[in-house]
Amino acid sequence: MRVPIKRNWQTWYNVCSMTENDLNDYLTRLGEFVREVKEVGDDEQHREEAAVFKRPGSGKIFAIAHVGSDPLRIEVGIDAKLAKLLADKYESVMPSRLMSPKNWIEIIVSGQLADDEVLDLVRLSYDMAADGAESREVK
């Protein structure tokens, strides 16, 4: 018997516990990073504040947290195949709106993905930014 994988992300909203402060604490334990708060978005109507996390030295972006979003929204850069797999499997994972939608995903931290799984994706993005493919610039 096959169980449907996709569900409404709002179903899990009440079980989500990760906050922006939790993300900052985790990143502090993960390693060195630079955090900049800036306005992001394509046009004036869709501008919002985001915390942009970069690797020191290279300046490569590895995560973006949407400041004040409830639930927390995080964008991370990962392998293109993994990005597609996760976006197909979970409604709370979608292609990034700010970075390359091919290898960047936006995660609505609503509980559909466990906090540990979200942090694993942040760590993967952090590690990939160190290995450094192309330069990552936010729109």
Q: For the segment 21-47, what is each residue's pLDDT rounded down to a tens digit?
A: 777 787 777 667 777 777 766 555 566
Tell whether the torsion through CA atoms of 61, 62, 68 and 71 is positive or negative: positive
State the average pLDDT for the chain: 77
More confident residue, 3 or 78: 78
Of the candidate ranges 5-9, 71-75, 117-121, the one whose mean pLDDT is the lowest? 5-9
Task: Enumerate domains of the chain plus CATH numbers.
Answer: 9-131 (3.90.1150.30)
Q: What is the rounded CA–CA span in Å between residue 71 and residue 137?
A: 25
